[in-house]
Chains A and B, each alone.
Chain A
Amino acid sequence: MEDVFSNFDLVLKAFWLTVQLAFLSGVAAMLLGTLLAAMRVGPVAVLRGVASTYVTLVRNTPLLVMCVFVFVASPNLGLFVDTPFLLKGTIAISLYTAPFVAEAIRSGINAVPVGQAEAARAIGMTFAQNMRHVVLPQAFRATVPPLASTLIAMTKNTSVVAVFGLTEATARMRDFVNDNADDTIAIFLVFALGYIILVELISLAALGLERHWKAAR
């Protein structure tokens, strides 16, 4: 245990990497997920097909397999060789998370009464304007709780890259466990606490957003 506290800078550095991974992947997954959701409800049949194929394909693929694809298989084919590991981690995690974001948003879009979109079309909004100004703002409100769940799951999922070249919190924990076999439980608790803090921050942000939007109605 002294080992953990005397090397606490390593713990913080590892969690900082976890935070970076979660933040970058979260932003990328939200953007890609929103795009996928819009494609799925959009008027272009080809895009609907592309988006729904992507969602089906990736949602049924374990994150570990996605990571093998990005970190191991792709470099063997000459892809992503010079890509920084943090970026590869972001790519793998956000590609994996985007379909879940898309489905959460799509359920939110479906919760917006159809009359809202019709009214927007009736005043001459294009599909993109309709999404941007009318449907998505309302969909996001209905989507905050499932999106928060998705982002929390994603934050914890960042631990998978512990075996793909990134010394984030879980990889660091395993270093400590390996060196201090007698203190496994205590080390586990320290790192679990770190994850709990991160996840609680997301929960609180979601709660704050919900309250803010409730007040705005």
Chain B
Amino acid sequence: MTVTDDVPVGNSAPRSGEPLVELVDVQKWYGGLHVLQDINLSVGRGEVVVVIGPSGSGKSTLCRTINRLEPIDSGQILVDGAALPQEGKALARHRADVGMVFQSFNLFAHKTILQNVALGPIKVRKQAKDAAEAHARELLDRVGVAHQADKYPAQLSGGQQQRVAIARALAMEPKVMLFDEPTSALDPEMIKEVLDVMVDLAERGMTMIVVTHEMGFARTAANRVVFMADGRILETADPETFFTHPESDRARDFLGKILKH
């Protein structure tokens, strides 16, 4: 997948056309419901892809299949050239390389902010505690919550928690970051602080797959927009093209509804 030249390019991780995440003929059913149909998607290294679509379109499911939080029924998912392993240690290793940010933050409620960020590196990456915590503090500083390091998640605002969640994912030094509606559970005044962190991340060259309704973010940071409806990818385009000249009726209809105000 080639990347257009008119996107902001980060200061690290030079972009290339080499695909990092590939979905090939992916199918998934929930019982009789065909939630993912013939999904083919390739995301290049350093690319930022925004997935949008009406609720129930399968966009969150798509996101969750990439680290196999949702198994698929047929097709293939490759990350960095390797197919997703089945359950077990190999899958755990795979997931360590794929960062994920959830709609509801899911910070470990019984751990402090610092422990939340350092836990993965210590237990999964087997880093020394001191080094892991030092790195965790750097990341917390980067997302602007360093002064909250010793508090528990419940003591933080939603926006702060989500930024910690991003830091927690980054601490694993993932190859790609998945965002599953990261701002949907946030009060409006907190959305920007999270988006700012995401934009910064995009500018630093992180490969990102973002399920979101934030069109502003899509316009600013995305290389491509993927539009989904009824379990299918209906349209793939660069943001400018997609927002100004959507090809499908469904996309036009959807954009009409969310861009009205």
Contact = CB atoms under 8 A, between A and B. Distances in A.
A and B, direct touch (CB closer than 8 Å): yes
Contacts of B109: 116, 138, 217
Contacts of A119: 100, 102, 106-108, 165, 168
A118 B104 CA distance: 11
B108 A116 contact: yes
A124 B108 contact: no
B110 interface: yes
Given A43-B87, A217-B152, A124 B120 contact: yes
B15 interface: no
B92 A125 contact: yes
Interface string A113-133: 101101111111110010001
B172 A123 contact: yes
B67 interface: yes
Given A115-B102, A138-B110, A141-B110, A123 B69 contact: no
Q: For A43, A120, A122, A138, which residue has the most chain B Cβ atoms within 10 angstroms? A: A122
Q: For A121, A123, A137, A216, which residue has the most chain B Cβ atoms within 10 angstroms? A: A123
A134 interface: yes
Contacts of A134: 108
B154 interface: yes
B123 interface: yes
Contact of B102 (A118, A124, A126, A138): A118
A133 B118 CA distance: 12
B124 A129 contact: yes
A126 B125 CA distance: 12
Interface string B84-109: 00011100111111111010111111
Interface of B: 67, 69, 87-89, 92-100, 102, 104-110, 119-120, 123-124, 152, 154, 165, 168-169, 172
23 contacts: A43-B87, A115-B104, A115-B105, A115-B106, A119-B100, A119-B108, A119-B165, A121-B67, A121-B69, A121-B92, A122-B67, A123-B95, A123-B96, A123-B99, A123-B120, A123-B168, A123-B172, A124-B94, A124-B120, A124-B124, A126-B92, A129-B124, A217-B154
7 closest pairs, A vs B, by CB?
A124-B96, A115-B106, A119-B106, A123-B120, A122-B100, A124-B95, A124-B124
